[in-house]
Amino acid sequence: MLDAVFHRFVDQSPVTVMVGGLLERVLTPEKLDAWFEQTTEKQYTRELLFSTIFDLMSQVVCGIRPSMHAAYQAKVSAMSVSIKSVYNKLNGIEAPTSSALVGYSAACLDPIVTQLGGTLPPAIPNYRLKIVDGNCLSATQHRLSELRVLSSGALPGKSLVVYDPARQMAIDAICCEDGHVQERALFDHLLERVEADDIWMGDRNFCTRAFLSGIEARSAYFIIRHHQNLPWEAVSFLIEQGRIETGVVYEQTVRIRDEDGISYLWRRIVLRLDQPTRDGDTEIVILSNLPKGAATAKQIARLYRQRWNIEQAFQELTQHLNAEINTLGYPSAALFAFALALVAYNILAVVKAALRGVHGVEKIEQEFSGYYLADEIATTYRGMMIAIPPEQWGVFRQWTIPQLVQMLLQLAGQVDLRRFKKHPRGPKKTPPKREKDETKPHVSTARLLAKRKTKKKKP
């Protein structure tokens, strides 16, 4: 039974209780440690468990603690190892383990999202859309001895992230410790994840003959922006297909040959824009092998606009979660933090799915702020875990998924959406040209404001 303190958190911050319950039910220490032993290749466990590192780093990623050292210090009485051992364990986590952790979290949470009714309709019926994009982790501080003598930015790694827009979750990731590696060097690992009837969407960096033909060889499909370096031959004329919101759509059939000389007939779709993109492009060219009966050229052009969903996900990771911790110089540690941020993003995606199930898709998609959600978790979670003893959370482990779903929906119904309302900014104004006066390196803001008031008083 839940005590009075627990009920107060349910009343005052139901979203934080939802996060705590999901972590208790899905990512328990026992499950994480068992998963780690099955997944890791070189690293092994002595005294320090993987679940402990997961717990400490997740507090940093979610903004509950400011640093790994602070998270350790808060639990020092329960720790059986030194902070040095914690960092040694963290720095030794293998990149494939970080990659697999993202997929593991998505697989655990997917049945919950499905039963919540929070899955968005598929973009194209009978197909599963997957959006892929690369992410280069930002430069870290020069704490390592090898970096202290360098002025160049230290890149701790790169990743390819696979995003499911229907579930709004990161469902897979490929992590690489080499921050200078080309994204295309990771495409072989990406092709291993391709399943029949997938639709893979990506920008022009993914437009290679080997990647596109590899997708088709696996009975899957692609919607990839055409790279100008990929040669093609016209098989039919470019014919207008009609207008969408951003421009006029054209389509033709083209022939493209792979490296072995095998030819493929694919669709080339051109969207001629009413307004140039921020890069100055006046048209967007898309290649696809989707059958015409599955999607028209206009549908594909509209669908490609969903690629920005993954850009928005990356933006949330950097703005709402501590996905890139610049004090972590070791690539393995930095990539693990990024993977944990994706796991946290997936947990919050389940919370949003519950909210969609209660308050409706349109209201949550248009009005609910991920920033305020992350802020609520960061400010409340720490106190909640102190106030509520561990045994109180055990009830979440005992529930079946339908029971957990019922509780999540009940909690979602208690959320006051006014506390999480978006406040979208208007269009950016062109900044005025600044005046430079070498004789006045500084100005008094108070005097300038006083002068403004004087001007207003004049008739």
| CATH code, domain carrying 262 | 3.90.350.10
Structural domain contains residue 248: yes
Structural domain contains residue 449: no
The pLDDT score that the predictor gives to residue 7 is: 85
The pLDDT score that the predictor gives to residue 458 is: 63
Are residue 115 and residue 78 in the same domain, yes or no? no
Structural domain contains residue 456: no
The pLDDT score that the predictor gives to residue 459 is: 60
Are residue 112 and residue 218 in the same domain, yes or no? yes
Structural domain contains residue 130: yes
Question: CA 153, CA 156: separation in Å to the nearest integer?
Answer: 10
Question: CA 278, CA 228: separation in Å to the nearest integer?
Answer: 18
The pLDDT score that the predictor gives to residue 194 is: 96
Tokens of 356: 């969609």
Q: State how beta strands 239-244 and 283-288 pair.
A: unpaired
From first to last of its 459 residues, what are the pLDDT tens digits of the chain? 457 888 889 899 999 999 999 988 888 889 999 999 998 877 766 678 899 999 999 999 988 889 999 999 988 988 889 999 999 999 999 999 999 999 999 999 999 999 998 888 888 999 999 999 999 999 999 988 888 888 899 999 999 999 999 999 999 999 999 998 988 999 999 999 999 999 999 999 999 999 999 999 999 999 999 999 999 999 999 999 999 999 999 999 999 998 888 999 999 999 999 998 888 889 999 999 999 999 999 999 999 987 877 778 888 887 888 888 888 999 999 999 999 999 999 999 999 999 999 998 889 988 999 889 999 998 898 889 888 888 888 888 888 999 999 999 999 999 999 999 988 776 767 788 888 888 888 889 999 899 888 876 666
Question: CA 160, CA 171: separation in Å to the nearest integer?
Answer: 11
Structural domain contains residue 447: no
Are residue 89 and residue 100 in the same domain, yes or no? no
Domain stop point among 420, 439, 454: 420
Q: Could you give the C-alpha distances from 16 to 6, 249, 372, in angstroms and in order?
A: 11, 45, 12
Collect contacts of 412-417 with beta carbons under 8 A, ≥24 apart: 412/14, 412/18, 412/351, 412/354, 412/355, 412/357, 412/358, 412/359, 413/358, 414/10, 414/11, 414/14, 415/14, 415/15, 415/355, 415/359, 417/355, 417/359, 417/363, 417/367, 417/368
Tokens of 126: 């009978």
Are residue 103 and residue 13 in the same domain, yes or no? no
Tokens of 307: 């690629």
Are residue 219 and residue 173 in the same domain, yes or no? yes
Domain stop point among 290, 318, 346: 318
Amino acid at position 454, single letter: T
Please give the helix or strand (H or E) that residue 252 lies within, else none: strand 247-257
Are residue 18 and residue 56 in the same domain, yes or no? yes
* Calculated CA dihedral for residues 157, 73, 29, 333, nearest 10 degrees: 10
Structural domain contains residue 445: no
Question: CA 6, CA 1: separation in Å to the nearest integer?
Answer: 10
Tokens of 364: 């949550």
- Domain range holding 218? 96-318
Question: CA 421, CA 359: separation in Å to the nearest integer?
Answer: 13
Cβ atoms of 331 and 136 within 8 Å: the answer is no
Question: CA 408, CA 402: separation in Å to the nearest integer?
Answer: 10
Cβ atoms of 58 and 29 within 8 Å: the answer is no
Are residue 310 and residue 175 in the same domain, yes or no? yes
Are residue 381 and residue 393 in the same domain, yes or no? yes
Cβ atoms of 412 and 359 within 8 Å: the answer is yes
The pLDDT score that the predictor gives to residue 349 is: 92
Are residue 202 and residue 297 in the same domain, yes or no? yes
Are residue 342 and residue 307 in the same domain, yes or no? no
Structural domain contains residue 101: yes
User: What size, in residues, is the chain?
Assistant: 459
Domain stop point among 318, 350, 380: 318
Amino acid at position 442, single letter: H
Which ranges constitute the DSSP H helices of 137-251?
A: 145-148, 187-191, 209-217
Are residue 147 and residue 236 in the same domain, yes or no? yes
Are residue 105 and residue 23 in the same domain, yes or no? no
Cβ atoms of 283 and 272 within 8 Å: the answer is yes
Query: Structurally, how many domains does the chain consist of?
Result: 2
Q: State how beta strands 283-288 and 221-225 pair.
A: antiparallel
The pLDDT score that the predictor gives to residue 2 is: 58
Structural domain contains residue 324: no
